[in-house]
Structure 1
Amino acid sequence: MKKSYLILMLGVATLAYSCKKDNEAVPDVNLFIKGETMTGQVNTKTAFAAGTNNGKGFTHQWKLDGTVVSSTYNYDFTPLKAGTYVIEYTASNSAGSFSHKYTVSVPVPVVEITPNSSKFIITVFEYLPAPGQFINEGLGSLAGAQKIIGDVSKTSMVTLGGFGGYVIFGFDHSVVNSTGADLAIYGNPIGGTTPFAEPGIVMVSQDANGNGKPDDEWYELAGSEYNNPLTIKNYEITYINPKGFANVSWTDNLGGSGTYDVNNFHKHNFYPEFAPNQEKLTLKGTLLPSTWGKNGSIFINSAFAWGYTDSWSIGDDYATKRYNSFDLDWAVDQTGKKIALKTIDFVKVYTGQREKGNTLLGEVSTEVKGAVDLGIK
């Protein structure tokens, strides 16, 4: 009798539980934003939310690129930079779950060209030269760097000192990647049988976070020597401030060391006295091979074929154009992978050779007179 009663009670309990489960269903979700793909904007909020269609509640979970970002019914997504983002929503109850995935494409902000746009530099964002003979003089001062703004027909220019010294500038619009050369950068190289080039490497960046500052990823415009076995990628050099008129010592990340030597034409400290760190200065980049030598009794520094500024390059037809030209299609990332850029907003130029020269001519130091967006006539 006890056994029969127990079996009966178990059957009733099982029936009751089954009926309860039969009355439940997975969440019936009403998503406020439909679809699976959409376009967002940098620093602009998109409000995602989910409700119920039948009045029955459930738990919520929102993930951004695999990381949980909200456990409430809503999630406000504000992308801080351009990119592709995946937002996953999951609603759950005891009967199961409902999931939906959004793919949000956020394009790089673009400052459009208008009839009033200038083809010349309008802003110098940063100037940090390496040690050199003109540093702390007019050509190598913060005030001097501002003089490359505007029309390139003027005679003013800025010097970047030894390897790694740089200047960062921009225009009043985004430079568009069109067919052929997109940028022209002016220097003061010498051609002919006694050439004197001071090759500068050019890098570009997009304003991916939309803040108007050059603090996003940089891409090198790979010139003719990028794949040269003698070219050294990821090179670092550290200069030591002599705190006076004396040779500037350096060490590098390859175990090398040396000096940039002072001369009697510029009797002052060659180390930039406006650098944030007045003890030492570390600069990084791609180190180009030296082209220093002599033609008879005359010292020369030969140009590379193409792709570097302040270089009398045949491939650039410098003799005719009087500038070095650059194609945004040359852009590569830190691993050497080609990067397709529709536009760029910032340009960085740095001295690409580590050549001390001599006490007569001084070091090889890239000079910049100005730049032009070739897309604006």
Structure 2
Amino acid sequence: MKKTYLTLMLGIATLIYSCKKDNEAAPDVNLFIKGESMTSKVNSKIAFAAGTNNGKGFNHQWKLDGKVISTTYNFDFTPTTAGTYVIGYTASNNVGSFSHQYTVTVPIPVVAITPSSTKFITTVFEYLPAPGQFINEGLGSLAGAQKIIGDVNQTSMVTLGGFGGYVVFGFDHSVVNKAGADLAIYGNPIGGASPWAEPGIVMVSQDANGNGKPDDAWYELAGSEYNNPLTIKNYEITYTNPKGYANVSWTDNQGGSGTYDINNFHKHNYYPEFASNQEKLTLKGTLLPSTWGKNGGIFINSPFAWGYTDSWSTGDDYATKRYNSFDLDWAVDQNGKKIALNTVDFVKVYTGQREKGNTLLGEISTEVKGAADLGM
């Protein structure tokens, strides 16, 4: 009798459970944003949310590029930089689940050209030279760097000191990548039988986060020496402040060391006294081979074929144009991979050679007299 009773109760429980399960269903989801693909803007909020069509609740899970970021019914997504993002949503209960995926494309912000735009530099964002004979003088000062802004006739000039010293500037619009050369950068090289070049490497960046500051990824415009076996990638040099009129010593990440030497024409500290670190200064980049030498009794520093500023390049036809030109199609990332850039917003120029020269002429130090957008 007892066994019969237990069997009966088990049957009743099974029947009740089966009926209850038959009445349940997988989540019936109402997504507030339909579709699968959308385009948005940097710093513009997208309000994702999911509701129920039948009044029955369920669990929520939102993922951003595969990482769980919310378990509530909604998720507000505000992209802080350009890119492609995958937003995944999953609803679940004891019976089943429902999933949906969004692809959000956020283009690089572009500052359009207006009737009042100029093709010349409008902002110098940063100036940090390496040690050199002109540093802490007029053309090697923070005030001197600002003078290349809007200089239509290139009457002003800023010096970048030894290897790695740099200046960062921009325009009042995004520079568009068009067919052929896109940028002109002015220097003061000398051509002829006794050339004097002080080659500077050019890098470019896009305002991917839309904040108007050059704090996004940088890309080198690879010139003629980029694949030269003597060129050293990912080079680092550290200068030590002598705290006075004395040679500036350096060490590098290749095990090398040396000095940038003072001369009798510039009797002051060659280390930038406006650098934030007044003990040591570490600068990084691509180190170009030295072209220092003599032509007869005259000291020279020969130019490269193309792709560097302050260089009397024959391949760039500096003699005719009076500037070095640069194509945004030359852009490569830190691994040497070509990068397709439709526009750029910031330009960085730094001294590409580590050459102390001599006490008569001083070190090889890239000079910048201005720049222009060749697309205007």
Fold shared, TM-score > 0.5 on shorter chain: yes
Residue equivalent to 1:29: 29
Structural mapping, 1:316-335, within 5 Å: 316-335=316-335
Q: TM-score, normalised by structure 2?
A: 0.99
Residue equivalent to 2:293: 293
Residue equivalent to 2:267: 267
Q: Structure 1 segments of 4 or more deviating over 6 A?
A: none
Q: Which amino acid aligns with 1:339?
A: I
- Structure 1 CA distance, aligned partners of 2:151 and 2:181? 19
Q: 3-state DSSP class of the match of 2:336?
A: coil
Residue equivalent to 2:358: 358
Q: 3-state DSSP class of the match of 1:356?
A: coil
- Structure 1 CA distance, aligned partners of 2:34 and 2:329? 37
Residue equivalent to 2:92: 92
Query: Do 2:161 and 2:363's aligned partners in 1 also have CA atoms closer than 8 Å?
Result: yes
- Structure 2 CA distance, aligned partners of 1:121 and 1:274? 23
What is the CA distance between 1:370 and its match in structure 2? Answer: 0.1
- Tell me whether 1:157 sits opposite 2:157 in the alignment: yes
What is the CA distance between 1:4 and its match in structure 2? Answer: 2.8
Residue equivalent to 1:182: 182
Query: Do 2:154 and 2:370's aligned partners in 1 also have CA atoms closer than 8 Å?
Result: no
What is the CA distance between 1:40 and its match in structure 2? Answer: 1.2
Query: Do 1:355 and 1:363's aligned partners in 2 also have CA atoms closer than 8 Å?
Result: yes
- Structure 2 CA distance, aligned partners of 1:294 and 1:85? 56
Assess, with a 3 A threshold, how the Cα gap between structure 1 residues 108 and 84 changes in structure 2: closer, same or farther: same
Residue equivalent to 1:71: 71
Q: 3-state DSSP class of the match of 1:175?
A: strand
Identify the range of structure 1 (68-77 vs 336-345) with the bigger mean alpha-carbon deviation: 68-77
Which ranges in structure 1 are unaligned for 5 or more consecutive residues? Answer: none
Q: 3-state DSSP class of the match of 1:154?
A: coil
Structural mapping, 1:1-377, within 5 Å: 1-376=1-376
Q: Which amino acid aligns with 1:310?
A: D
What is the CA distance between 1:321 and its match in structure 2? Answer: 0.2
What is the CA distance between 1:82 and its match in structure 2? Answer: 0.4
- Structure 2 CA distance, aligned partners of 1:155 and 1:115? 25
What is the CA distance between 1:189 and its match in structure 2? Answer: 0.3
Q: TM-score, normalised by structure 1?
A: 0.99
Q: 3-state DSSP class of the match of 2:224?
A: coil
- Structure 2 CA distance, aligned partners of 1:152 and 1:130? 27
What is the CA distance between 1:103 and its match in structure 2? Answer: 0.6
Q: Which amino acid aligns with 1:191?
A: G
Identify the range of structure 1 (216-225 vs 59-68) with the bigger mean alpha-carbon deviation: 59-68
Query: Do 1:177 and 1:328's aligned partners in 2 also have CA atoms closer than 8 Å?
Result: yes
Identity score, percent = 86
Query: Do 2:120 and 2:152's aligned partners in 1 also have CA atoms closer than 8 Å?
Result: yes
Q: Which amino acid aligns with 1:306?
A: W
